[in-house]
Amino acid sequence: MGVERITQVGAAVIPDRVLDHLRAVVDELDLSGTRYEAGRMIGKGDMGSVYRVRDRMLDRYVALKVIGPVGDGFKEARTLTRLEHPGIVPLYDAGTLADGRGYCVMRLVDGKPLRRFDGLAEGLAVAGKICEAVGFAHSQGVIHRDLKPENILTGQFGQVMVLDWGIALWSGARGSRAGTRRYMAPEAEVDARTDIFSLGVLLEEILPLGAPRPLLAIAAKAHANEPEARYQ
């Protein structure tokens, strides 16, 4: 007989079989009462899960993201309504599931996560499109806070789309450091320069090996440790 594993959560001791069941229940998608037809999960992260579902009314496939309680789900939806830009995934719909969790529906983006490019011109073109999308968000008072390769998709026809605005912060709102460690600025206070730090790290990663020194210097300045030393 096998030995059952257990996990301690606070003062409670929970068998792993129970935890596995709870995870499976959370991942189940009950779309009753909505116009969407359940499909497969295509992504999962700290902020929620994303599913490929069919919109029965318009007969098309879309991405449906489920995020915790209703308020949290609608926060990302409200942010996306302010960000109508070709380089930012558009919001189609938002609502509440039967279990009380909030969801938002977005364009289903067919693309691959950001990567290092072999050609300098291609890498710079993609970097420029990312900067345009993030610059537009900043002009609308929105800071992404989690720019990383997994949150940027590139398509085969040159499309570049910035995704996952779940922890975005609106200018004037108080917020602390958040995101993915490698791409996260070191300072505690968050402003537009927080995203500039992440862009600098991304630029270094997508430029081809042996990129010209002036370009590497631009990337280094963008992700300088001191916010005042970065591009403003």
Point out the residues that are catalytic. Answer: 146
Cβ(63)–Cβ(93) under 8 Å?
no
Question: What is residue 207's DSSP assignment?
Answer: S
User: DSSP string spanning 175-194?
Assistant: ----S-GGG--S-SS-SHHH
| CA–CA distance, 179 with 190 (Å, rounded to integer) | 11
Number of neighbouring beta carbons within 10 Å of residue 202: 23
Tokens representing residue 2 in the block: 């096998």
